[in-house]
Chains A and B, each alone.
Chain A
């Protein structure tokens, strides 16, 4: 099962990379979102996908899923959400001020020192 998940993560990251190399700012933001998903799922797979109960002690099970990667992913989800939302609003404001979402046009001044 891990092999499948790793391949899915690889495809997600490849897609994200391709999107981030494009000109449109929206595609870049979507790319970062996909990249985050790829990273999270990779984290989960690396922790091992052994069957077991959810990490809740009330279940009285013999084996539990590994709680540590879950805690790490939870932190990562929240942080990537914060960054993505900031990035979105930044892109939005950039569009408002500069009237473009083309990264090739958002190059800065040619003659700056």
Chain B
């Protein structure tokens, strides 16, 4: 166990002590204790930057289950480090923000920080694990901690609904991913990502390649809220705002992006990978931005905006994967898409984190997030307003913020995608830039909605719960830090080169070297620039006329939305399984017996015919005797009498006849002990039958005639037939002689008894007899207890019998 393992597990370790700190330092907000850890971790991960920039990686392994190849291997490369820095950096800011956002007196702070630290540790584990099983374990831990954080205010029904929804969807994807991991293991024999990449030849072209690819993408799409799995993210907005800012914008929803980037060296270059990621990404991009415009809740707008931006990053990764197909031909135009993806990933984390915090401040200071109630906060909250402008303009892709740069690069990537000459892109490629451009217009519109509907216009104090005023400084510092990063990355994007290019090396490993290009603000009069100008022009026009065309959102049938589908699906599943269980769990013992007997008869019959097990010969049989035949007839006749009699007495007597015939059979077949026992047992049994069913005064002595039922008849006849067939087959083929010759010799010589049956019972196989005695004892005690014990009476319940 090296230091880095301790670093990954440190949030989990601290989580153990949080409740103690909360209990014993009541006067200090628990968040202050927590804040130290992500700050330290951030600085620690910064120290890896030098290693990463010089193209080196760091690997450290700790054994977990070595016999199964499952080891806690930590692998720090560009991609892992980028995410680790995001997690710890934004984590620190979110903890700071939460200190001011969550009240010390009103909220259960201990649980909040336990969950948050759990999430932080899990997320670090996801991005730094080299072993896929360990990655999966941490992956599920993020789902669980996210579930706990969404339902933080568990007394609200909506919180519980949102938490359950996100849990079901992300765990579904997580399990699919686990299946993908196992398929990959089948192909390569290792769980290590690095070794899988090294042995990528084993994977490519394997028949399990496409299933594994789809299963991995299911995991990535559900976690990263891609269409049609995006529906959990808007409902996850019931979480406290620091959680939304941290999990549902900057870190957890990017775990899917991370997975796609991490597995790119394994799967990229295949048309399935390219098409699935690009198409689902661009649909998500478009649908998210289109749906965001109609929202009236600020957090919902941001949720759909997050969905849309995640789709954007996903599309870029998909288009970038074409670079592998072209074998990294230099200068490769498709790597620019991946570069844009990584750059936008960083940008999105900065501006979306700050926007969530801004919305949280507005909510905190006014008591509402509904844009129909808000307005005119510009003069009251100038700092918040500035932060919102920076965040939203960056999100809309306006200069001079970092969003502008990544949006330009996004357009570049999409335009280049039309030039891909394979996989039918020559016919369908034009869709990419068109959809991207339209989606950008919607992005522009909702960004403007956030800024102008909230902060300009008329103040409506009568609709607000509180008198709005500027937030405390502590709450403003985290968004200020993020917003300044937005501006710094906007003006000096090349400061990020040190982290972006090692990341690209992780996504495109091998001998390939990504050309280190500078990211420029001004790149000449390119088509991308005209597209941006078009976005601004159309966007402004559509924003100003929003009231007129906004009605088209009402055209969509409410019944066909994905949420309705999800809810209906859950209800349908529940009803379906209930109906199915009702169908076969009828409660009638006859139905269960029909199933058991029928199943037994059918199964044995199939076995007999399929394996040709039936055979019949008369070699081993003894000659038929007259006495036995007569006795057999008596037995069969009395058994059948039971079926047809209507009197209880005749039925009992007929059963007795069968029993006494059995005793006679035992006499004929030279079994004196059996005959004795059978006689006595049958006598006692008949007496008991009579006692219970005949001599009871209030029971009618006649029973109705047994009704003929065809199913019962078929089943009992087939059970009897199967028994006969098996009996005949067994009788026809004796495999070896009986061991009884031993008893003939040993009974007297070794056990000193001449009655072989009794010697076997008490000497050779005495243990059977011991437990047979136990059975009788238990039966006797059971009968005694049943008759004597009347708990219902003692409880004073009504009992007519007395």
| A68-B716 contact in complex given A2-B622, A85-B783, A88-B692, C-beta closer than 8 Å | no
By beta carbon, the residue of chain B nearest A33 is B655
By beta carbon, the residue of chain B nearest A57 is B754
- Collect the chain A residues with CB atoms within 8 Å of residue B747's CB: 57
By beta carbon, the residue of chain A nearest B648 is A26
Interface size band for A: 35 or more
Contacting A at CB under 8 A, from B760-802, are 760-761, 765, 768-769, 772, 775-776, 778-780, 782-783, 786-787, 792, 799, 801
By beta carbon, the residue of chain A nearest B742 is A68
Question: What is the predominant secondary structure among interface residues of chain A facing chain B?
Answer: helix
In contact, A97 and B801 (Cβ under 8 angstroms) = yes
A14 to B719, CA, bound (A): 6
In contact, B665 and A41 (Cβ under 8 angstroms) = yes
A29 to B480, CA, bound (A): 83
> In this assembly, does B699 line the interface, its C-beta being within 8 Å of a C-beta of chain A?
yes
In contact, B712 and A22 (Cβ under 8 angstroms) = yes
| A82-B642 contact in complex given A2-B620, A88-B688, C-beta closer than 8 Å | no
> In this assembly, does B209 line the interface, its C-beta being within 8 Å of a C-beta of chain A?
no
> In this assembly, does B477 line the interface, its C-beta being within 8 Å of a C-beta of chain A?
no
A47 to B740, CA, bound (A): 10
B723, B757, B782: the one within 8 Å of A70 (CB): B757
The smallest C-beta distance from B334 to any residue of chain A, in angstroms, reads 59
B597, B685, B699, B757: the one within 8 Å of A55 (CB): B757
In contact, B712 and A21 (Cβ under 8 angstroms) = yes
| A4-B757 contact in complex given A22-B712, A67-B743, A88-B688, C-beta closer than 8 Å | no
What mask results when residues 671 to 699 of chain B are scored 1 for a CB within 8 Å of chain A, else 0?
Answer: 11110011001001100110111001001
B589, B659, B768: the one within 8 Å of A37 (CB): B659
A68 to B639, CA, bound (A): 28
In contact, A83 and B779 (Cβ under 8 angstroms) = yes
> In this assembly, does B744 line the interface, its C-beta being within 8 Å of a C-beta of chain A?
yes
Question: What is the predominant secondary structure among interface residues of chain B facing chain A?
Answer: helix
Interface residue total, chain B, C-beta cutoff 8 A: 97
- Collect the chain B residues with CB atoms within 8 Å of residue A71's CB: 757, 760-761, 765, 768
| A103-B589 contact in complex given A55-B755, A56-B755, A75-B768, C-beta closer than 8 Å | yes
By beta carbon, the residue of chain A nearest B712 is A21
| A4-B628 contact in complex given A15-B639, A55-B755, C-beta closer than 8 Å | yes
The smallest C-beta distance from B585 to any residue of chain A, in angstroms, reads 11
| A1-B590 contact in complex given A55-B670, A66-B740, A97-B801, C-beta closer than 8 Å | no
The smallest C-beta distance from B596 to any residue of chain A, in angstroms, reads 10
By beta carbon, the residue of chain A nearest B624 is A1
In contact, A3 and B588 (Cβ under 8 angstroms) = no
- Collect the chain A residues with CB atoms within 8 Å of residue B583's CB: none
What mask results when residues 12 to 33 of chain A are scored 1 for a CB within 8 Å of chain B, else 0?
Answer: 1111111111111011011001
The smallest C-beta distance from B637 to any residue of chain A, in angstroms, reads 10
In contact, A74 and B673 (Cβ under 8 angstroms) = yes
In contact, A27 and B622 (Cβ under 8 angstroms) = no
The 10 closest A-B pairs by CB, nearest first: A14-B720, A10-B724, A17-B716, A82-B779, A67-B756, A6-B727, A18-B716, A57-B754, A55-B756, A65-B670
- 9 A–B contacts from the bound complex (CB under 8 Å): A4-B632, A13-B723, A17-B715, A34-B655, A47-B738, A55-B756, A74-B757, A86-B779, A86-B783
Interface residue ranges, B against A (CB under 8 Å)? 587-590, 593-594, 597, 618, 620-625, 628-629, 632, 635-636, 639-640, 642-643, 648, 651-652, 655, 658-659, 662, 665-666, 669-674, 677-678, 681, 684-685, 688-689, 691-693, 696, 699, 703, 706, 709, 712-713, 715-717, 719-721, 723-724, 727-728, 730-731, 734, 738-740, 743-744, 747-748, 754-757, 760-761, 765, 768-769, 772, 775-776, 778-780, 782-783, 786-787, 792, 799, 801
Beyond A3-B728, A88-B692, 15 extra complex contacts between A and B, CB < 8 Å: A1-B628, A3-B618, A4-B628, A12-B635, A13-B723, A15-B642, A15-B720, A16-B716, A30-B689, A40-B662, A48-B620, A68-B739, A86-B779, A106-B589, A107-B588
